[in-house]
Amino acid sequence: MTTPSAPEPVPVPIRVLLPGDQEVVAHLWSRRQARDGWRYEVGLPAYRNGPEGTVEPAEYRVWVRAPQHVRPVDGVSYDAVPTEYLAPPSPVQETLGPRRPSGWVLVKAGGRGPGRGGVVHAVDCEEAPAGAPVLTLERALDAAEQPGVRLCSLCGAAAELDPVLKGFDHGFEET
Ligand SMILES: [Zn+2]
């Protein structure tokens, strides 16, 4: 998303939850998607000692977990924060935004009835078998549209994918 001529990023304020139930407004420099969630690169306000006993303002930079360790500041837009995805974001992923799970799993099932074509789970669902191939969002949506495939309601699959499927249907109706 960044171009070689992109200007130097300007950090935006974000609240960081510190150990010991404290909270501080820090700089958010960038964020990056990891397999198990998100990491936000924050700059915490601090002091450091300079030469001859001086004290100067400083910034302590650290990667923290999101959303566990951060809270948005009211009125601040985080749209322009440099963001690194696991894979390049597609239009579908951008629709869902950064809160989506990092993958999906299709569990094949035999037999008849609803779910005979399989069940789509978020990759971290208890019912998703370990080692199953992880699907991208597009592949999961494709799978979800096959007859007999249902979305697991235990994990985020139904809640996350249903609105996307319905949202796109709606979009097609309008064109
Ligand atoms: Zn599930």
Return the half-sphere exposure (C-beta side, CA atoms, 13 A cut-off) of residue 97: 5
Indicate whether this model's pTM tops 0.75: no
Instruction: Dig out the tokens for 114 from the structure.
Output: 């609803």
Q: How far is the CA of 171 from the centre of ligand 1 (A)?
A: 27
**Ligand 1 center from residue 126 Cα (angstroms):** 6
Q: Give the model confidence (pLDDT) of 2-39 as tens digits.
A: 555 656 678 999 999 999 999 999 999 999 988 888 99
Distance CA 146, CA 109 (A): 13
pLDDT band at 172 (very low <50, low <70, confident <90, very high): very low
Ligand 1 centroid distance, CA of 153 (Å)? 6
Measured in angstroms, how far is the CA atom of residue 115 from the centroid of ligand 1? 12
Residue 4: the pLDDT is: 59
Closest CA to 141 of 88, 104, 116, 97: 104
Q: pLDDT of 138-155, one tens digit each?
A: 888 898 888 888 888 888
Q: Cα of 162 to ligand 1 centre, how many Å? A: 13
Please compute, for residue 75, the number of CA atoms within 13 A of its CA located in the half-sphere on the CB side: 0
Q: Does residue 40 contact residue 69 with C-beta atoms inside 8 Å?
A: yes
156 C-alpha to center of ligand 1: Å?
Answer: 7
106 CA to centre of ligand 1 in angstroms: 10
Sign of CA dihedral 113, 114, 118, 121: negative
82 C-alpha to ligand 1 centroid (Å): 31
Q: Are 114 and 135 in contact (CB under 8 A)?
A: no
Q: What is the pLDDT of residue 89?
A: 58
β 70-71/118-122 pair status: unpaired
Q: How far is the CA of 42 from the centre of ligand 1 (A)?
A: 33
Residue 142 Cα to ligand 1 middle (Å): 17
